[in-house]
Structure 1
Amino acid sequence: MKVAVYGFGNQTYYRNVLKVSENLGGEPPYGGSRMALEFAEAGHEVFLSDPRMDTIKPEFKQKLLDAGVKLTTDDVEAAEGADVAVLFTPFRSGLTVKVAEKIIPNLGNDAVIATTCTMPVLVLETSVKNVLFMEDREDIGFSTLHPAAIPGTPQHTHYFIATNELLEEEIVKPHQIEKLKKLAEDTGKKAYLIPAELISPIGDMGVVATASAAISALEYYAVSKSVLKTTKAMTEFQLAQAFQVVSSIIAKYGIEGLVKFLNAEALKKSLKSMLFDEKIQKVSFAAMKSLENISDIEGVIGSFDDMASKFEPKEKTFLSAPSPMLISYMEELAGEDVTRGIVREALKKLYHGEND
Structure 2
Amino acid sequence: MDVTVYGVGNQELMANLVDEHMEGVERSTVLGGAYLAMKAAEAGHDVILCDPRMDLPEEARALLEDAGVELSTDDETGAEHGEVHVFFTPFGGTVPLVKELMDSFREDAVLATTCTCPPMALYYGCERELRTERKDLGVSSFHPAGIPGVETQTMILVASDKAEEADVELATREQVERLLNLAEDMGFMAVELDPELVPVVGDMGIVMTVRIMQAIVHFFQIAKICGAPDEMIEEQVINVLSSMAYLIAKEGLDVFYRFSGDVLYRSLVNMALEEMGARIAECFHDNYVDLMEGTPETMRELSTMMVPPSVLAEEVEEVAGKAPVE
Query: Shared fold by TM > 0.5?
Result: yes
1:304 to 294, 304, 307: 294
Matched with 2:65 is: 65
The answer to whether the 8 A contact 1:257-1:311 is kept is: no
Q: Secondary structure at the match of 1:105?
A: coil
Letter in 2 for 1:66: D
Letter in 2 for 1:52: R
Q: 2:18 & 2:293 partners in 1: Cα distance?
A: 25
Q: Is residue 136 from structure 1 mapped to residue 133 from structure 2 by the alignment?
A: yes
Q: Secondary structure at the match of 2:96?
A: helix
Q: 1:308 & 1:86 partners in 2: Cα distance?
A: 39
Matched with 2:232 is: 234
Distance verdict in 2 for CA 1:172–1:222, change over 3 Å = farther
Distance verdict in 2 for CA 1:230–1:286, change over 3 Å = same
**Structure 1 residues 186-201: aligned runs within 5 Å:** 186-201=185-200
Matched with 1:334 is: none
Q: Deviations over 1:233-290 (max 9, x none)?
A: 22111101111111222222122222x1121111111111112222xxx4x4453233
The answer to whether the 8 A contact 2:262-2:289 is kept is: no
Q: Which runs of no fewer than 5 residues in structure 1 stay unpaired?
A: 313-343, 351-356
Q: Secondary structure at the match of 1:293?
A: helix
Letter in 2 for 1:247: A
Deviation of residue 77 (structure 1)? 0.2
Deviation of residue 127 (structure 1)? 0.8
Q: 2:279 & 2:249 partners in 1: Cα distance?
A: 25
Distance verdict in 2 for CA 1:286–1:345, change over 3 Å = farther
Q: 1:311 & 1:195 partners in 2: Cα distance?
A: 32
Q: Deviations over 1:186-224 (max 9, x none)?
A: 011111111111111211111111101012112222332
Q: Is residue 110 from structure 1 mapped to residue 108 from structure 2 by the alignment?
A: yes
Matched with 1:246 is: 244
Matched with 2:172 is: 173
**Structure 1 residues 30-45: aligned runs within 5 Å:** 30-45=31-46
Q: 1:271 & 1:57 partners in 2: Cα distance?
A: 52
C-alpha RMSD of matched pairs (Å): 2.6
Q: 1:77 & 1:348 partners in 2: Cα distance?
A: 30
Matched with 2:273 is: 276
2:286 to 283, 293, 306: 293
Distance verdict in 2 for CA 1:307–1:36, change over 3 Å = same
Q: 1:261 & 1:114 partners in 2: Cα distance?
A: 41
Deviation of residue 157 (structure 1)? 0.8
Deviation of residue 116 (structure 1)? 0.5
Matched with 1:82 is: 82
Q: 1:17 & 1:126 partners in 2: Cα distance?
A: 32
Q: 1:267 & 1:303 partners in 2: Cα distance?
A: 11
Matched with 1:153 is: 150
TM-score by length of 2: 0.86
Q: 1:202 & 1:133 partners in 2: Cα distance?
A: 26
Letter in 2 for 1:304: G
The answer to whether the 8 A contact 1:81-1:109 is kept is: no
Deviation of residue 123 (structure 1)? 1.0
Q: 2:262 & 2:239 partners in 1: Cα distance?
A: 21
The answer to whether the 8 A contact 1:166-1:196 is kept is: no
Among the aligned pairs, what percent are the same residue?
32
Q: Deviations over 1:284-332 (max 9, x none)?
A: 445323311125994xxx99334347899xxxxxxxxxxxxxxxxxxxx
Q: 1:249 & 1:25 partners in 2: Cα distance?
A: 40
Q: Is residue 348 from structure 1 mapped to residue 320 from structure 2 by the alignment?
A: no
> In terms of mean alpha carbon deviation, does 229-238 or 63-72 score higher?
229-238
Letter in 2 for 1:37: M
Letter in 1 for 2:10: N
**Structure 1 residues 203-242: aligned runs within 5 Å:** 203-225=202-224, 227-242=225-240
Matched with 1:320 is: none
Matched with 1:263 is: 260
Distance verdict in 2 for CA 1:310–1:2, change over 3 Å = closer
Q: 1:67 & 1:216 partners in 2: Cα distance?
A: 45
> In terms of mean alpha carbon deviation, does 132-141 or 195-204 score higher?
132-141
Q: Secondary structure at the match of 2:196?
A: helix
TM-score by length of 1: 0.79
Distance verdict in 2 for CA 1:138–1:150, change over 3 Å = same
Deviation of residue 146 (structure 1)? 0.6
Deviation of residue 346 (structure 1)? 6.3
Letter in 2 for 1:198: L
